[in-house]
Amino acid sequence: MRIFIFLTLIFPSLIADELRLVAYNIHHGEGMDGKLDLERIARVIAAEKPDLVALQEVDKGCKRSGSIDQAAKLAKLLKMDHRFGKFMDYQGGEYGMAILSRLPIEETVVHRLPEGAEPRIALEVLVKSTSWPGKFSFVGIHNDWMNEALRAEQIKALQVGLKGRDYPVILAGDFNAKPRSDSLMKLEKNGWEMLREGRKNTWSASRPTVEIDFFFSKGLPAFWFKDSVIAEKVASDHRPIAVVITANNKKSTKPE
């Protein structure tokens, strides 16, 4: 019994058939108060006990954020593995996105997307859980912020890059697009399910009026989900989003 309780506290998703996910545009660690504070970002993430985290606006060696590897530091603070994908060189380092994972990462793929105001990529990791859903891909995305037509092209390019996957794929991040936009409708028309129950504004963090951060899934076996916006007003200019995905089987219960 003691071993079971310990494992549940440290690795809750190793016991239940569930996945706990977070997506967070961290604004290179700079909060609404103008302070750079990665420890604050880590505390926000840790409270959700996630298996996987998609991070946007991450610096690696950039002067503005103290020339540190932000993904590596967050991974160390959270005791997770990490992968970084570069958008572009910036201030003596690299600017891009990252994924943090408690699950073993078997493969990493960088998908180059059509460029707009800045270069863009999607970052994919192939992982495998010991229970449901087994092998799957987790993909972080951060689409162009200026042009909806370009965002639609970026989504189209990503779908081409993901073509032929014979396992589930979960897509997470800052889409810079509203729920009924052309770019997001392209996903839904191609079999992607938005993991969203009701409007949940995410930007800007202090008083959010816009909903632009989302999770999508494709190919997952029967499941339930419960999504939420984390009520963090200061740590970044976005509020993070979280979702708990639970297998729809006799051994699991629907998240409340």
What does the pLDDT look like over 33-52, one tens digit per residue?
Answer: 999 999 999 999 999 999 99
In this predicted structure, the answer to whether residue 117 has a pLDDT above a threshold of 80 is yes
Domain regions of the chain by residue span: 17-247
Q: Indicate the SS3 state at residue 98.
A: strand
Report percent pLDDT > 90 for the chain: 86
How confident is residue 13, by pLDDT bands cut at 50, 70 and 90?
A: very low
Q: Write down the number of H helices and E strands in the chain.
A: 6, 12
Structure confidence at residue 131 (pLDDT): 84
Determine the straight-line distance between the first and last CA of the chain, rounded to whole angstroms: 25
Which among 61, 76, 75 is positioned nearest to 28, based on CA atoms?
61
Please classify residue 3 by burial: count the beta carbons closer than 10 Å to its beta carbon, then call 0-12 exposed, 13-18 middle and 19+ buried. exposed
Mean pLDDT, range 107-131, rounded to an integer:
95
Its sign, for the CA torsion 49, 51, 56, 61, is positive
Q: Which residues of 56-94 are buried (b: 16+ CB within 10 A; e: fewer)?
A: bbbbbbbeebeebbbbebbbebbebbbbbbbbeebeebb
Q: What pLDDT, on the 0 to 100 scale, is given for residue 15?
A: 45
- Domain 17-247, CATH number (from 3.40.50.1950, 3.40.50.12780, 3.30.930.10, 3.60.10.10): 3.60.10.10
Instruction: Check pLDDT > 70 for residue 7.
Output: no
User: Is 4 or 201 the better-scoring residue by pLDDT?
Assistant: 201
DSSP structural state of residue 191: T
pLDDT at 250 > cutoff 60: no
The predicted structure's pLDDT at residue 16:
59
- Residue 173 φ then ψ, to 5°: 150, -160
Cα(137)–Cα(171) distance, rounded to whole angstroms? Answer: 8
14, pLDDT greater than 70:
no
Compute the mean pLDDT over every residue in the chain, rounded to the nearest whole number. 92
DSSP-derived 3-state class of residue 161: helix
Q: What's the rounded Cα separation, in Å, for the pair 99 and 24?
A: 10
pLDDT of residue 165: 95
**Two tokens at 99?**
């994924």
Q: Which residue, 82, 80, 166, 86, is CA-closest to 119? A: 86
Where residue 255 falls among pLDDT bands split at 50, 70, 90? low
pLDDT in tens, 209-242: 999 999 999 999 989 999 999 999 999 999 999 9
